[in-house]
Amino acid sequence: MPPDAAIARLTGTPGLPHPVAGVKFDLDGTALPFPGNTVICLLPQDTPEHAALAALSAELVAPPTWGAKLAALDPASYHMTVFNGVHARARRPEEWPAGLPLDAPIPEATRFFAERLRGVRAPSGFAMRPAGLGPTRGGGTVLRLQPRDAGTAQQLTALREAVSQALGLRRPNHDRYTFHLTLNYSLAWLSPGEAAGLVAMQHRLGEAFAARHPVLRFPAAALCTFETLNAFRPVLRLG
């Protein structure tokens, strides 16, 4: 992503409300209730890559100029999303499985997911390459991930198709989805100077991490539930 585009994501659009503050996190960085479910691969906590990402995340929020405007995630939550589930704040037909009422409580939705996904076959894990750090459209920081090889890419595509068909859910961006691991969320838009500093740090830390950890190995995907974005509880292991 060009630096100018990255900076624009961090400074936001004047006049538009911030998409995270008061919704996913309080202004002091406390995770707010945000119940939902998702299909993810949790990064094992007993690996060098996990420890390195936790240290990298702490470094990103350390500068006093912008640190208070970012909410670092609990390292125990680090994961790669394979297929986005549902959450209580997005009850729109295009974001919801066919056959599940739009007003279904999240626990009911998770039971629906588990029943539909029980027969889905999935690989035992995925090897991914780090492809740099960058901002999301909401101003948070993600580690971009790419399949290590063509075989892994095919496996991920096949799994996403199987999950989509089983759930009756295919979002408009299904074929354009990019894999990532989220490290922090934005709490407030940055000034242009702050954004430029963070983008430079993301570039430097992302390159250093990829050089030391060229492959991240994720275990099998699992359907998980969450009450906040700091903790994910496995319900059903796929495969």
72-122 pLDDT, tens digit each: 999 999 999 999 999 998 899 999 999 999 999 999 999 999 999 999 999
Q: Would you state the pLDDT for residue 115? A: 97
Q: Is residue 92 part of a domain?
A: no
For 25, which DSSP code? Answer: B
Cα-only R_g, the chain: 18
Q: Is residue 34 part of a domain?
A: no
Q: Is residue 154 part of a domain?
A: yes
Q: Is residue 231 part of a domain?
A: no
Does the predicted model carry a pTM greater than 0.75?
yes
The alpha carbon of 204 is separated from its chain's Cα centroid by a whole number of angstroms, namely 21
As a whole number, the mean pLDDT across the chain is: 95
For 5, which DSSP code? Answer: H
Q: What is the pLDDT of residues 39-60, one digit of tens each?
A: 999 999 999 999 999 999 999 9
Question: Which residues constitute the domain of residue 133?
Answer: 40-86+104-169+178-226
Domain count, the chain: 1
Q: Would you state the pLDDT for residue 53? A: 98
Q: Which residues contact 77 (CB under 8 A, 6 or more apart)?
A: 229, 230, 231, 232
- Mean predicted confidence (pLDDT) in 225-229: 97
- Mean predicted confidence (pLDDT) in 184-205: 96
- Mean predicted confidence (pLDDT) in 167-174: 94
Q: Is residue 137 part of a domain?
A: yes
Q: Are 140 and 186 in contact (CB under 8 A)?
A: yes
Give the CATH number for residue 63: 3.90.1140.10
Q: Is residue 188 part of a domain?
A: yes
- Mean predicted confidence (pLDDT) in 135-140: 92
Q: Would you state the pLDDT for residue 2? A: 86
Of 187, 188, 175, 183, give the one whose Cα is nearest residue 144.
Answer: 183
Q: Is residue 147 part of a domain?
A: yes
Q: Is residue 20 part of a domain?
A: no
